Amino acid sequence: MKLSVFSSKPYDRKYFEAANAARKASEIDIVYHEFSLGKDTVFLAKGSDAVCVFVNDALGPAIVEALARDGVKAILLRCAGFNGVDLEAAEKHGLLVANVPSYSPEAVAEFAVALIQTLNRHTHRAYNRVREGNFALDGLLGRTLHGKTVGIIGTGKIGLATARIMKGFGCRVIAYDPFPSPAFSELGDYQTLEELLPASDIISLHCPLMASTRYIVNEQTISKMKPGVMLVNTSRGGLIDTKAVVRALKSRHLGSLALDVYEGESSLFYDDHSGEIIDDDVLMRLTTFHNVIVCGHQAFFTEEALKEIADCTLRNMEEYAATGMCKNSLTRDAKIKRRDSLPVRNV
């Protein structure tokens, strides 16, 4: 079996090589490409049984069609979010799309909480000050989190893990999710979005990016939030209308903002642009606010998560090759259409 891994970094390679070596009998022939999968690079997938892509690889209908034409049978996402792949096109062409649904929800939740703590107690500013010999406390005043209300939007695996940690801090946790989970009901109360927005001191986004959630944070929803609210997004950039958020920061309505994801991240994140002029004025404006933290989509980035991502991706490939099915499939009928065309192996 041959797998072409796109947008790969040395750390991906390290964990994929280790996961593959551990397989012995069913070792997979893996080819690593540093660049993303797109119209200029899709030809490199030819001859592969599957491609493996990451969060910012955009697999629209034309790319999916090209993959199918070149004999690729599966698109393996080494992430949970699947907004980058046109699932309908994949189904149409009989390609399996599978993800890694849960590699370490705690890793992302812990990072969201790290951002909350940093914004609240200004440790990012304190770090710089002390290095300059400035030990003044002005501007570093925080608020005790105990007793504050945290609004979680999306109570899946990560939202739930975040709620548990914040509950441990003594916060009141409330949530909005169109599909409520009994596990969250043990921690706090579900509310409508309209109720949650004005009631929360901190709002943390943990829902997927879909047509229905795109710009869930916009001019109108921001206006309903409590003045001085802290907004944290470790989910997907497209959940936030960033220009509206910049306006809310300028008007002082939004108290602080932490982004691990950004709607224009695909052309910037995961690469070093420090020697270039960055054209994105919205992102650059964000970096000028003292009460804004922007990180480059790193919430998942722990040793444990990378190990599970590599293991699970190879398991997905093996399972599909052996049975024509995959429990992490995001496409409904691909497994049926392609079942007979895959090399069957014992796993």
Q: Is 179 in the site for ligand NAI (CB under 6 A)?
A: yes
What's the CA gap between 76 and 331, in Å, rounded? 12
Residue number with CB closer to ligand NAI (30 or 261): 261
Task: Give the separation between CA 286 and CA 60, rounded to whole angstroms.
Answer: 29
Q: Determine the 3-state secondary structure of 55 from DSSP.
A: coil
CA separation for the pair 108, 300 (Å, rounded): 5
Residues in binding contact with ligand NAI, number by CB under 6 A: 30
328 in contact with ligand NAI (CB under 6 A): no
Question: Within 10 A of 43 (CB to CB), how many other CB atoms are there?
Answer: 9
Q: Which of 132, 141, 182, 212 binds ligand NAI (CB under 6 A)?
A: 212
The residue from 20, 77, 91, 105 that contacts ligand NAI (CB under 6 A) is 105
Task: Report if residue 258 touches ligand NAI, rule: CB under 6 A.
Answer: no
User: What secondary structure letter does DSSP report for 24?
Assistant: G
- For ligand NAI, what does the binding mask look like between residues 221 and 240, x meaning CB under 6 A? -------------xxx----
Work out whether 260 is an interface residue with ligand NAI (CB under 6 A): yes
Would you call 123 helix, strand, or coil by DSSP? helix
Nearest distance, CB of residue 233 and ligand NAI, angstroms: 9
Q: Which residue is nearest to ligand NAI (CB)?
A: 156
User: 33, 76, 46, 39: which is closest to 61 by C-alpha?
Assistant: 39
Q: Please name the amino acid found at residue 267.
A: S
Does 308 engage in binding with ligand NAI (CB under 6 A)? no
Catalytic residue among 265, 308, 318, 319: 265
Q: Is residue 94 close enough to count as binding ligand NAI by CB under 6 A? A: no
Q: Is 81 in the site for ligand NAI (CB under 6 A)?
A: yes
- Helix H segments across 48-131? 61-69, 87-92, 105-121, 123-131
Report the distance separating Cα 58 and Cα 70, nearest Å.
18
Under the binding rule (CB under 6 A), the answer on residue 157 touching ligand NAI is yes
Stretch that binds ligand NAI, among 132-140, 163-171, 172-180, 320-328 (CB under 6 A): 172-180
Q: Which residues contact 297 (CB under 8 A, 6 or more apart)?
A: 55, 260, 261, 265, 269, 270
Which residue numbers are catalytic? 236, 265
- Contact residues toward ligand NAI (CB under 6 A) are 80-81, 102, 105, 108, 153-159, 176-179, 206-209, 212-213, 234-236, 260-261, 297, 299-300
